[in-house]
A and B are shown apart, each in its own frame.
Chain A
């Protein structure tokens, strides 16, 4: 089954992939921090789509679509277009290069992420494991 990106089902599947990843369990074993990933509006997506991810010691403790009613204040916010995320998931774009060229925008402590680069990569790899489709493919 192909999961639509972005969607609540996709976020739930990402949590499953993270929690079954031995690589992330190891590289993210010291990581403590939560994220909000924002997909910017564009094409079929009319509103920003916000996904929350709570990563803790190599596991994903929580993952859901943010509706605005939550009280969570994620430590990191990363935003980009669907196309940018798609290129990253397909390994056509390096996530750090995406940040440096501002195709992805980061709010939060970049140095904390740079100290966990392998974990970052393993997280992206988890995304790439999901069988997914995009709004222009539906």
Chain B
């Protein structure tokens, strides 16, 4: 027995117009200060006003949002008492909105203790709309919430199946102004979601097709979106890919690349997409040496050599590195400016945090402590994994 969850999705050019007919009384927009300053909040606000909805804005979500920010935002949210909450932004704003929604409905809960076992009873006071402004996290379509415990210096992967948005509005217009670097980093994150969603031990028949489709879209359209931000067909396809991958991995979870990327990003202060992309080809090479890897399917879907698992994994890892090169992303930690000495100095913490990451147990091959250290060394040096 398992579940498949997805919000209702409105997508394509003009999708935001759907808000013009939203039925409700008050909406609370959760976003970050940069997007607010760029006028993105106002674009959404204009649509809500047409629907006769009163609104308030919390534009204080920082990158990698903290538990403190979520608690503070939930306080403002409670005072305004909306019947719609809108997460507008990248993963940080949407994740913060999910957590604030939980605290609004359930003030008795600590945000660090949101978990998939407890019945929350959400949706009594408000419902959630997610509007992504990047094509990456897929958070608009997942129930996962990543918050940062600043005191402990670690990211917390939280979530309840109930904290899935009621509605996701995927309008490519917001991504048109994304600079190439951010387009590349968020786009490669989509690929990491799709490949890991397909290869995790929680993969299932309902999510598999979504993951494969998202991979195809990324390989076809990410280079175009990076090369020409005004290529709106590429922007729309990448926006769709992000959400499709979000539904895919949201129902199958992620695996080893994320288990390594989370601590690496936290320790070396690197953005999530850059890290998940960095680790992806190495973890493909590592996990193929398990009994139940699935890289032949992926290679076949991408028109790569797929005669056997090893051939397929080698081709998949190679084509990921090629894509990363094409879109200007580093394919080793050294290329990010992280030296072997930096890596060794942080090694125990990196390995400990990776072993605490929920994604690690969903990999088809789970590294030992020593193998984790080796993987970090290989990624630092840019050496394809051969063990």
**Chain A residues close to B by CB (< 8 Å):** 23, 26-27, 94, 96-97, 99-101, 103, 106, 109-111, 114-121
Decide if A106 touches B202 in the complex (CB within 8 Å): no
| Complex: chain B residue closest to A110, CB-CB | B115
Decide if A94 touches B366 in the complex (CB within 8 Å): no
Q: Known: A94-B201, A94-B202, A101-B1. Is A117-B115 also a contact (CB below 8 A)?
A: no
In the complex, A86→B360 CA distance in Å?
23
Q: Which residues of B contact A94 (CB under 8 A)?
A: 201-202
| Complex: chain A residue closest to B368, CB-CB | A23
Q: Which residues of A contact B1 (CB under 8 A)?
A: 101, 103
| Complex: chain B residue closest to A124, CB-CB | B361
Interface of chain B: mostly helix, strand, loop or mixed:
loop
In the complex, A114→B2 CA distance in Å?
19
| Complex: chain A residue closest to B359, CB-CB | A117
Smallest CB–CB gap between A50 and chain B, Å? 21
Q: Known: A23-B368, A118-B366. Is A110-B117 also a contact (CB below 8 A)?
A: yes
B357-387, CB under 8 A of A: which get 1 and which 0?
A: 1101100001011000000000000000000
Interface residues of B, CB < 8 Å — how many?
22
In the complex, A117→B156 CA distance in Å?
13
- Indicate if B116 sits at the interface (CB-CB under 8 A): yes
Smallest CB–CB gap between A131 and chain B, Å? 21
B107-118, CB under 8 A of A: which get 1 and which 0?
A: 000001101111
- Indicate if B22 sits at the interface (CB-CB under 8 A): no
Residue from the list B115, B118, B201, B368 in contact with A114, Cβ < 8 A: B115
Q: Known: A94-B202, A97-B2. Is A118-B361 also a contact (CB below 8 A)?
A: yes
Smallest CB–CB gap between A88 and chain B, Å? 13
Q: Known: A97-B202, A99-B117, A111-B115. Is A120-B361 also a contact (CB below 8 A)?
A: yes
Q: List 24 A-B contacts (CB under 8 A).
A: A23-B368, A26-B368, A96-B361, A97-B2, A99-B116, A100-B116, A100-B117, A100-B161, A101-B3, A103-B1, A106-B117, A110-B113, A110-B117, A111-B112, A114-B115, A114-B358, A115-B356, A117-B356, A117-B358, A118-B355, A118-B356, A118-B360, A118-B361, A118-B366
Q: Which residues of A contact B2 (CB under 8 A)?
A: 97, 101
Decide if B361 touches A117 in the complex (CB within 8 Å): yes
Decide if A26 touches B361 in the complex (CB within 8 Å): no
| Residues of chain B from 201 to 251 with CB closer than 8 A to chain A in the complex | 201-202
B1-28, CB under 8 A of A: which get 1 and which 0?
A: 1110000000000000000000000000
